Copies of this chain bind each other. A is one copy, B any other.
Amino acid sequence: MSRTPETSAVQRLIDTLSLSDQVRHYLLDALTSGRLRPGDRINEAELARTLGISRNPVREAVSGLAQRGFLVSAPRRGHYLRRFTPQDVDDVFSFRICVESFAIRQALPRMRPADHDDLARLVERMVAAARVGRLAELHQADMVLHRRICELSGNRQTLRAHEGIDTEVQMLIAYVDLEREPPLQSALAHLPIIEALASGDVERSVSAMQHHLETTWAFVHRMYGRTSRGEPLVAAEDAPPSQSRRIRE
């Protein structure tokens, strides 16, 4: 049996997903990559045609993302990517600090040497990627590092919450990447965190994480101070309903 390259293995895994799951990933990527911009509506029929499938899987994916808060829905008028306000940035990042600090507190006592090595390798990857300007790889490793800490906490609720936060953050920065933290600085900013973790000092680790997140927060906030000026900021969560059918029971 001929060995297939890694991408094919991944591809085979993807192929086993239901169509609605594939659409969900497709849309999540569109959201977090900036291909879909705030205010953009999702045309179910058109998307279904584009993907070569029927509308049902599309609807399931879209409706699920709306339930999770990544899309807003206007009854009878479809779903769209909501707009972001400076307050959204503050909400996400302040909550993120809360969650990731908690993750560190739960993770650190459980961490073994191999885990510390893992994190160190991730930072190395970030630094290397930053040096050669591979930004995508840098941000990928960045995301993995933060998620890894949540995984190490062993708390499913924490990990789940982080998933949502991470998606929010990626959506926030997806379409305003005008000015980011310098890559190398961004990569090196994680060193104090893993060093503090390796030392076993919980409070120092939490402080380091908070400092790092506050820096990122400030960058994102600055972008929103500029880019969102004058735009209609508040998402239309209203919309008058209409029809009237009821389920039995």
Residues of A whose CB lies within 8 Å of any CB of B are 12, 14-20, 22-24, 26, 50-53, 56, 59-60, 63-65, 67-69, 75, 88, 91-92, 94-96, 98-99, 102, 106, 155-158, 160-161, 164-165, 168, 241-249
Contacts and interface: CB of A to CB of B under 8 A. Distances in A.
Contacts of A157: 91-92, 94-96, 164-165, 168
A174 to B, nearest CB: 17
A99 B59 CA distance: 32
Copies of this polypeptide in the complex: 2
Contact of A102 (B98, B160, B164, B168): B98
A15 B96 CA distance: 37
DSSP class of A's interface residues: helix, strand, loop or mixed? helix
A50 B156 contact: no
Nearest to A15: B244
A56 B53 contact: no
Given A50-B248, A91-B155, A92-B157, 10 more contacts: A14-B246, A19-B245, A24-B67, A26-B247, A51-B248, A51-B249, A63-B63, A63-B64, A67-B68, A91-B157
